[in-house]
Amino acid sequence: MIFIGDLVHCPSLGKLEILRDHVLVPGNDISRIPKGTFLLPTFCDLHLHAPQFLYQGTGLHLPLMQWLNEYAFKAEERIDNDPDLAQRVYSRLARRLVERGTGAVLLFGTIKETTNLILAQCMIDAGIRAFVGKLSMDRSSRPTYVEASAEISLAAAASFADRCASLENMVDSHAGLAKPVLTPRFVPTCSDELLTGLGRLSAERGLLVQSHMAESLDQVEWVKSERGMDDIEVFDRSNLLTPRTIQAHCTFLTPSSLCKVAERGSAIAHCPLSNAYFSAEPFRLREALDNGVKVGLGTDVAGGYDIDIMGSMRQAVAVSRMREGARLVHKVAPDAIQESKPLSVDWKEALYLATTGGARTLGLGEESGTFAVGAAFDAQCINLMNETTCQGTGPLDFLDREHEGMGNWELSDELIEKWWCLGDFRNRVSMWVQGKKVPRTRCDP
Ligand code: GUN
Ligand code: FE
């Protein structure tokens, strides 16, 4: 494969690079991208609960701990007890992710090994990178949805890691795209013995770890009263705050705790839509970035109801702008940040988080999420010549262009911004992961 055309990527935070009419050589078939389309690295979703796709957009009026008991645990248990349902839900989820340009996804699954293997296989079959977390939880409000002891839970985590790592795609041998991730659900559902054991397992095998940290008021208060300390201390003393760790949310982390996350080299999955429902506080995104924390974006389906990372990008910008607005209006200077520096992030920074930022947290390499030499070819082709980006008037008037021809047409920051604001899945023409075209099926069985 050889591509000739416009490439767009974000090599560093806030930097958008348009590589006009470039030649990209991931293989040896030549393909010229027409004017009005460009290649962009695929999106990374750093936090998604696969079984909760079943009931996306339900019960969000409840506080987190109640929502988990009344919806999440029940739905997950249902999927664990019905492999056919798991297959249907997970294959549909995989198709939706492809449609939305998500080329790599960090997933929370369920407790049962076989169900998580179905999940991993569905993602492999769809052709995307999946980091699959078998849930570890030896405490729960539901006696029928819990592991019997820390020992049993640890053995199950190790067994899943082995079996997931050895999965191969029977269809077209696009192997190696599913990786196991140790997944202590969150502090309230894990004993100290389980957490310490998972910390040890991660160190021994170099496995990634994911969890939820400092997410909501009811959860933070629960941990404080039961454990006498904050989430971050519980994770840290269990050796679960390492460069292999990705923690979702972290809305209740103070600036000094964010420094600790940075020191440990851990990453954060920022899920702004979910935060708006479950977290009383917005995530301190600018402070995290300034402190050098690795950050990417997550949808947190079904705490967030939208599976599209383009939604997460827009929400991240909107929330950060409200934070900056509140600072200006109320003249509150947040701790440990220079007065002059805005708390808001812009669309280019959000695009970085959705691509390069996410890819780097997943250990895909320093160049990952960009078109630099040595990066895996994970790309999506975006067509701007679509009515989604032709709405209204403005700097971009494609309808006129159709009459004038595309002779001196040139891709610009403004055109990409317009797509970032108005575009949707209809602009996505095709996608590749690890240099291979990802098939896209629009209709569900
Ligand atoms: N904390 C523990 N489990 C969950 C979950 O399923 N969703 C969210 N948003 N937070 C959690
Ligand atoms: Fe979550």
How many angstroms separate the CA atoms of 23 and 25, rounded? 6
What is the DSSP-derived secondary structure letter of residue 354? I
Distance 432 CA to ligand 1 centre (A): 31
What is d(CA 265, CA 60) in angstroms, rounded to the nearest whole number?
33
In whole angstroms, give the CA distance from residue 288 to residue 268.
9
Which residue, judged by its Cα, is nearest atom 8 of ligand 1?
A: 303
Overall pTM surpassing 0.90 (yes/no):
yes
Integer angstrom CA distances of residue 73 from 54, 125, 146, 248: 12, 27, 10, 18
The atom number, within ligand 1, closest to the CA of 278 reads: 9
Is the separation of the CB atoms in 124 and 118 below 8 Å?
Answer: no
Tell me, in angstroms, the distance from the centre of ligand 1 to residue 80's CA. Answer: 17
Candidate of 48, 79, 186 to mutate for ligand 1, largest count of ligand atoms within 8 Å of Cβ: 186
Domain boundaries, the chain: 2-41+377-436, 43-361
321 vs 287: CA distance, rounded Å: 14
- CA pair distance 48, 106, nearest whole angstrom: 6
Work out the number of other CB atoms within 10 angstroms of the CB of residue 163. 16
Q: How far is CA 316 from the centre of its chain?
A: 13
Q: What is the pLDDT of residue 31?
A: 78
Q: Which of 49, 54, 251 best tests ligand 1's pocket when mutated (most atoms within 8 Å of CB)?
A: 49
Q: Which ligand is nearest to the CA of 59?
A: 1
- Residue 354: phi, psi to the nearest 5? -75, -20
Ligand 1 pocket test target in 53, 65, 66, 212 with most atoms within 8 Å of CB:
212
| CA proximity to 107, closest of 65, 160, 159, 155 | 160
Burial 190-206 (b: 16+ CB within 10 A, else e): bbeebbbbbbebbeeee
Mutate to test the pocket of ligand 1, among 67, 185, 250, 299 (most ligand atoms within 8 A of CB): 185
Please identify, by atom number, the ligand 1 atom nearest to the C-alpha of residue 303: 9
Q: What phi and psi, each to the nearest 5 degrees, are found at residue 3? A: -105, 140
Handedness of CA 375, 107, 248, 138 (dihedral sign): negative
Ligand 1 binding pocket (C-beta < 6 A) is: 49, 64, 68, 72, 185-186, 212, 215, 274, 278, 300, 303
Tell me the CA–centroid distance for residue 359 and ligand 2, in Å: 19
Which homologous superfamily is 43-361 in?
Metal-dependent hydrolases (3.20.20.140)
- Count Cα atoms within 13 angstroms, Cβ side, for 239: 13
pLDDT value for 198 = 98
Q: How far is CA 283 from CA 252, 330, 333, in A?
A: 7, 18, 16
Which residue's CA is the closest to the ligand 1 atom numbered 3? 185
pLDDT of 391 reads: 56
Q: What is the pLDDT of residue 32?
A: 81
**Atom 9 of ligand 1: nearest residue by CA position:** 303
Q: Which atom of ligand 1 is nearest to the CA of 49?
A: 6
* Sequence-ordered list of residues with C-beta below 8 angstroms from that of 205, at least 6 positions apart, any chain: 161
215 Cα nearest atom in ligand 1: 10
Ligand 1 atom closest to residue 216's alpha carbon, by position in its atom list:
10
Q: Whose CA is nearest to atom 7 of ligand 1?
A: 303
d(CA 184, CA 199): 10
- How many angstroms is it from 68 CA to the middle of ligand 1? 7
Whether the CB-CB separation of 127 and 433 falls below 8 Å is answered with: yes
Q: At what angle do helices 413-422 and 309-330 cross, to 10 degrees?
A: 100
List the CATH code of the domain at 2-41+377-436: 2.30.40.10
Q: Which numbered atom of ligand 1 lies nearest the CA of 271?
A: 9
119-141 pLDDT, tens digit each: 999 999 999 999 999 999 999 98
Residue 130 near residue 98, CB atoms below 8 Å = no
Count CB neighbours of 433 within 10 A: 23
Q: How far apart are CA 317 and CA 125, in angstroms?
A: 33
- Residues of the chain whose pLDDT is less than 50? 336, 393-395, 443-445
Amino acid at 384: L
| Distance between CA atoms of residues 248 and 300, nearest Å | 8
pLDDT number for residue 395: 45
**What SS3 class is residue 85?**
helix
Pick the atom of ligand 1 nearest to 72's CA. 6
